[in-house]
Structure 1
Amino acid sequence: MTEKFTRWDSTEFLKTEEDIGYYLEACMDEAGDDPAFIAKALGKVAKARETLRILGNQPSQSRTDKVR
């Protein structure tokens, strides 16, 4: 029997702003002096927030929505 593996994508588990906050806190603890680690984590957060916006779980963050 052959095992199948898939790539881990942490954005699949970031479903709320609270999840994102915990994720960033854990990343800050783990990163130490590695700015690339934090940059990658911020990229994951941006992807997760865009997914949440598209799915309607979060209001849009665009400037045009804020100006009335």
Structure 2
Amino acid sequence: MRKAKFSAFDVADHIKTPDDAAHYLDAVLADGDANEIAEALGMVARSQGMAAIAEESGLSRETLYRTLSDAGNPRLATLLGVLRAMGLRLSVAAA
């Protein structure tokens, strides 16, 4: 019997469009966990190319990787700049 080979699942590989990114981030935001939100932003940034997001947002790639990790804690200005660079915006809805 042959063993099946699986590759690691990476959400960034499945985010192809701005709508994909918006739906993914909306689902993560619904849970409200700050660490998961930062990590999800990092996944979306990787899906679009971290270097391009860094250039567009005016931040270094290293700063983005560190800030948009599960241990990161992005400031609101950073969050808004990264979302803008991704072609997204933050909105609020009643819970």
Instruction: Please give the TM-score of this superposition, normalised by the length of structure 1.
Output: 0.63
Q: How does 1:13-52 map to 2 (within 5 A)?
A: 13-29=14-30, 31-32=31-32, 34-50=33-49
Aligned-residue RMSD, C-alpha = 2.1
Helix, strand or coil: the match of 2:49?
helix
Which residue of structure 1 lines up, in the alignment, with residue 10 of structure 2? 9
Which aligned segments of 4 or more residues in structure 1 are displaced greater than 3 angstroms?
A: 60-63
C-alpha separation in 1, matches of 2:56 and 2:40: 19
* Structure label with greater radius of gyration: 1
C-alpha separation in 1, matches of 2:12 and 2:29: 16
1:62 Cα shift? 6.5
List runs of 5+ in structure 1 lacking aligned partners: 54-59, 64-68
Change (3 A) 1:38 1:62: closer
1:39 Cα shift? 0.8
Instruction: Please give the TM-score of this superposition, normalised by the length of structure 2.
Output: 0.47
